[in-house]
Copies of this chain bind each other. A is one copy, B any other.
Amino acid sequence: MGTTTGRRVGRPRAMQRPDSGMSARDELLLAAAELFTTRGYAATTTRAVAESAGMRQATMYHYFTGKEDLLAELLESTVTPSLTLARALLADDGRPAEDRLWELCRSDVGLLCRGPHNLGALYLLPEVQGERFQRFHGVRAELKAAYGQLLSATTAGSELSRLERALRTDLVFGLIEGVILIHRGTPGRAVSGLAAAMADAALRIVGASRSGEPVISRP
C-alpha cells in the first residue's frame, strides 16, 4: 500500500529512473510535447518519444496507436481548458463584455505560453489538417465562436457590421494564437506581463477597452 519503488505490476523497465509519479501515458504525452515543440513533429521518432519517457519504443504502442494519436491528444488538451473558461465567461452576463473578453485573452496567452510546452506552435502543422484531428478542430471552432460572441457584446463591437465583426474576431483570435511567435522571439519576458499586454492589444483591435481604462487617445 506504500509508494515504495518496485511495487508496480508488470515487467520492470529496462532503463530505471526515479519514479516521476505520473502514469506511463502521461509520461509519454509530456515527452511528446517536449520533443514535438523542440525538434518538430515529423522529425520526432516514436523511439525518441518512448525512450525520452523512460521506456522502449515498442511499449509506446501499448498506450497510443501512433504519433498522430499523441499529437491529437496534446492539441485537445491545450484547447479544452480555454473553452471551459470561455463558456463560463459567456454565461456570466453580469460583467461587461469588455472585461470578459480581456480575461479570456489573458488566460489563453497564459495557457499557450506556460502549458507543458509551447503547444501553440503545433496548430500550424500541416499534419493537423487530417481527419484524425476533427475533434480538435471542433473544440477550437467553438472557442473561436466564443471570442466572436464576446466581441459582439462589447459596445464597440456591437456597432460594427456583421462582416467587420467576423474580421475582427479573426484578427483577435489570430493575435492570441500567434503569441507563440512573440513568446519564442523573447522567451525571457514574464508571461503575466505579456498576457496582460496581449489582452490590451486585443481590445484595442476591437476598438474597445476595459471598464475603467479609457480608450487610448492623443491630447
Contact = CB atoms under 8 A, between A and B. Distances in A.
Interface in A129-143: none
Contacts of A218: 155-156, 207, 215
Mostly, the A contact residues are helix
A174 B185 contact: yes
A170 B155 contact: no
A156 to B, nearest CB: 6
B175 A126 contact: no
Interface string A144-183: 0000000000011000000000011011011101111110
A191 interface: no
Interface stretch (A21-29, A34-42, A72-80, A82-90): A34-42
Contact of A126 (B37, B170, B174, B217): B37
A146 to B, nearest CB: 15
B205 A205 contact: yes
B207 A39 contact: no
Interface in A167-219: 167-168, 170-171, 173-175, 177-182, 184-186, 194, 197-198, 201, 204-205, 207, 215-218
B171 A197 contact: yes
Contacts of A14: none
Nearest to A197: B167
A83 to B, nearest CB: 17
